[in-house]
Structure 1
């Protein structure tokens, strides 16, 4: 009797574990568009590696999610997406992203000059 009880319990725990460890892959959608344009693969690679960890719906920081959620960005109107890109450019150009406090704990999160230039160029590009 105990064995019959443990088997379904183990299956449920296993499913919950694997469901909880799945990471959203922002770059898995090759048709991802912001402000009417596909996000270039190189930009997506930087976003996935350096930005998405804090700016996603499952992130710990409510502040980071409220400032920018890459998944929610896709649901905004094109004009709202353009405004979000402008804000991204502004924050990057002011040197406020990633935040200094974050970099104290995770210096590997710092954007290289090339990554910063790539994100700034993309975020400043206007849609046609």
Structure 2
């Protein structure tokens, strides 16, 4: 476990195309860490993510993953790994966008065209 230390190099897997951790860290007055990022789709194979983190073993101090199984496998391999989860605000926003898309699709399919 890493404690009382700023982590300067880590690997991260995320569904988000914009790296939230880099955005958050840029607000602090500290040296920007080296971040190796793997952006994945919803149907990703967790073995693929595990191997992504292994590629950077030795170049990073820890791994951040969205999947508990990836974290567990990395820890068993001896790599410090921590699980990330979405905030409640991100989940609400995602559900709001999904709801809007479903409504749009429904109304699009129920439109009737009339020609004279």
What is the TM-score of this pair, normalised by structure 2?
Answer: 0.25
Structure showing the higher strand proportion among its residues: 2
Q: Which has the larger radius of gyration?
A: 2
